[in-house]
Structure 1
Amino acid sequence: MIEIDRNIENTTYISLEDMWFKLREISHIKNNLNEWEIRLQFIESHMLIVAASGQGWITVDGQFIELREGSVYVCTPGQLIEAAAYSFDERGFYHLRFDVIGDVESSNNPIQIVKRDSRFPVKGEVIVSSPVSVNALCETICDCFQGEDRLKRFRSQILFQEVLYNILQDALLVQGNDLEAVLEGVKAYIEQHYQQELTIEHLAKVAGISSRHFMRLFKKRYGRSAIDYLTVFRIKQAQQLMRTGGEYRLQDIARHVGYQDDIYFRRKFKQISGIPPATFMRNNRQKIVAYHMFNIGQLIPLQITPCAAPADHPWTDYYQRKYQTDSVLPLSSDDLIKREELRLADPDFIIGIDILVSAEEQAKIKEIAPTFFVPWMENDWRKHLRLIAQFLDKTTVAETWLENYERKARFVSEQVKYTVKDDSLLILRITGDRYNVLGCRSLDTVFYDDLHIVPARGVDRMKPDQQVTPAQLADFDADRLLLILDEDALSKSSWQTLMHSEPWRGLKAVRNGRVDFLPPYPWVEYTAFTHELILDEALKLWRNRA
């Protein structure tokens, strides 16, 4: 989330033109097999993380954010920061520290380095429109800043201003205007003060606009009223407490998340979760195994964090961090070892996928615990979810989740149509030396079916993918391209070859600057959980962007 500072009451305001920016340190981390990290600390200076490649995460004042390629993260003095990154290639990523020097508009205040009360106008994640340009600038800055030549070091400061200009320009483009920045600020205020009694009148006062105007604008921006947003956030915090395994009483959990009336809390919890809180807590004590990778993204929407899941799933660590549990057993890829691990885990249920395991192996697994193998090919992802829910007696939870998904999809579709309009979209994945156009049983169902974006000419939606050559891409005549690049060296080499080819440079979407990127995981998975994530990504990519 991007935050843009406004003139705050009782705070001296420093406008952008009255600021100077001094780069203090820049590091380029690349080709490193080890994890880079920032240990938990209150930072004393402004910080940028430019994610050119790799995977990672950052927590800012307790809020977890997954680092994404093509994004920049702005942190300011006084924030509590922890971060880690890994699996980066020669592009790596950049870590910059800088000072903001402000000429405060008062005769009693001299020029000063702005520390604790930062007036830097942007905080949080910024999706830059041209990651290649920002990365190239950072690379040049590194070369100039770390040398002995004074003129080159001076040039590094000039180029650093250019980086900041690009970041500010893109942040302001996404925000659109001050009013949207105000709404983002109120949403953040709700998340920080959810335990308090919050009313529309109070939130409207925080926003500085009338209650009626605030209610209309908030619902238009986020698809639900501010009070509904507060309710959902409170229930999610309650669910998180229940997942920790602590023996909290329901009335204590209700008080913690801001409800003094136990009956009202139970009613709201069931409305949001699909089941009463006592049932949620009882179900959370069940041990349910995600036997295959895709099962993780099928269980999460059913309010289930699996007790065991494949160790080689790229996002297993993500689920552990997001749901704050270290109790997920990593399962071996060897069938024999895996069965023994399951016997020791003594699960209540096992969920797998029928086409990924032989009938003989299925029979052996069913001897360990009640097991359901999802019939994959004959059903779509919604039916997958419903079948698992039926087996686990969680049909109400599944239907509640699906209702919320359909509502969210309609909202996102309305939000992105002003940017996408009638543009055709081609989804291209680079895997090894292959260029595949994604079709059925992929994220294409979200973009084409749920968001009603027009498929590019020639996309065969009856096939899971279509292998193409760079020269054939022009035949699709796509207005927009969504590119998914696998993490292995051969895939990255194929991307470099494509990027420098004449067919690529001649594509309409490339010429018009309408190429967007997604990392391969978890978006390529055909599951309910990942499809909801795609809706969020579509908003980040295309809401209020030209």
Structure 2
Amino acid sequence: MTYNPLDEVKHSHITLVRVSEGTSETINQLGEYNGLIYISSGTGYLQSGREERKLVEGKSYVFTRESKLISSSSQLFHVYILFWHKSDTEFAFLSSVRLAKQVPAKVTPLWKEALSLQGRKSYSEICRFKSIIWELLSMLTESSKVDEMDEIIENMRNHLVKPYKVCKLAAKANMNPTSFTRAFKKKVGISPKDFLIRERIRVAKELMVQNKGITIKEVALKIGMQDEFYFSRLFKQKVGYPPTVYMKRAEERIAIVSQMFLQDHLLSLGIQPVAAPAYPTIYSTSGGIPRYLEKDLVGTRLLNAEKAFQPDEIMQTLPDRILKTTLHNGETQSVLLSHEQKVEHISFKANWNEYLREIARILRKESRVDNIEREIEILENTVRDQLCPLTKRGNWAVIWVRNNEIRLYGYKDHALLDLLYQKLGFNPHPNLPKSGYKVISVEQLVYLQCDKLLILWSHERDVWKLAQSKEWKMMKAVKDNEVYFPNSKNWDPWGPLGRKKMLIEFANTFQKSKVKLY
């Protein structure tokens, strides 16, 4: 029988998958292959069934069934994949070895070369293809001190009940205790001891929010502390109040089923929800929520609002009550019909404080609302007076520059636009849409001839790309150097906490956000 070297490679192949922001790509659709993926650029998630793994640039991961690549990156998500048939044992070892992090500049050229050689017929090209695959695997399984440190950190997170000594951790990393502590602090920002305390406090919060009826003693034991009184003192020292007070924040267990951040309203009323919506592709660096909510929602189960809500995931949090707004996707409207007795339906409201008042009424917290509204109103008036000389001269337009479109916003029926035009005194261009937004071309933006332009929520790369067009330089606001581009990625004034955060940042940074984009 004649030997054919193609038989060596026919059960394996490589591919490059490109996933744009907010989209996904299904891989291994029939489940016939195992695979190794390498993240060449961007960040995202690998979803297999109900399991989700975060994907980080420079890292490799193994999968064994049909999966979905989800981009959470504002840049194009590049993923190289090595597939091998389940019947092939050549690469089976990858499932049981530690995969090293390698910078894309070092390994991406090899992936590209392998792709160019794939499917070639000559012996030399087939041998070169196989050689590159094994060279890649050699690099991706090469241990380093960085990988050892990552493994130690992950192990500490996953085994908080174990007593850790710096000398033993250092030995695992083949370092002396002083060098290890220095390297650990450089990587994490705090010492190993402080990191362990921080992680134990974080998990304690999760346990108190997610486990109905759990005691302080049980929480302490589950995070490796035998003395509940020491735990209580430590918790109060780090958080600012004792665990008994923290537990009362979620005493009535509230789940939010909405595509709005109603958790902002709840937190302002002193209540932490057991479940709340998140947008992992929009807020990819802070767990799917604006950064200002991150600290106060430790322990809350974050529900992916970019896809249909799963009733089982919500009910696993054992909510006493569910606050639900109308959802955008018609097929998910009846998602909780079997638990209708627990659901409080909240209709669409035009203003942020109408949601606050409705939620406060449902939860009998009306006494807190007036003070919250008064504080926000005082802040709005202060910022309006501060910016009045700038906002009253000339007419304004607000745009969001996205990867493949420009959105021109109207002047009402949107929390942020109402804040700008109704509360802070910005003078709207007469030809803006009345409400919502419309997608326009750069030529239409030029034709608008606004005096001043405010760019919100946009990625720098997309804005600079737009600014390279010849049409951009013809805009009146650009010619007059009246383009403002503040760091607004976390601005969401639909709730009192987000509104307050935005107003403070707006007052401090807006006048400095003027940029020359030409």
Structure with bigger RCO (C-alpha 8 Å, 6+ apart): 1
| TM value normalised by structure 1 | 0.46
State the structure with more CA Rg: 2
More strand by share: 1
